[in-house]
Amino acid sequence: QVKDYIDKEGFTFSIPIDSDNKALIEYNNIYPITGIPTTFMIDREGIIRYARPGAFQGEEQLKAFIALLDE
């Protein structure tokens, strides 16, 4: 998925990927991470209808939110 995005955007610079989480583990030993931004949409009944790691961004997430609002 990351490679597809890099190719789509045409990035020509190196992008390191921590696929085995070694860098994250080492970083966390120095600066403990207490949370990861996550985007949720919760309906009126309190049911989580949408959850994705990361802050809200992009047209794809907006379309997903609009589709859920239309239900």
Q: Which long-range contacts (CB under 8 A, 24 or more apart) does 26-30 make?
A: none
Quick one: pLDDT at residue 40?
81
- On the question of pLDDT at 65 being above 80, the answer is no
Record the pTM. 0.41
pLDDT tens readout for residues 14-46: 877 888 888 888 888 887 877 777 778 888 888
Domain count, the chain: 1
pLDDT above 80 for 58: no
Residues in the chain: 71
Say if CB 49 and CB 43 are below 8 A apart: yes
The residue range of the domain holding 6 is 2-70
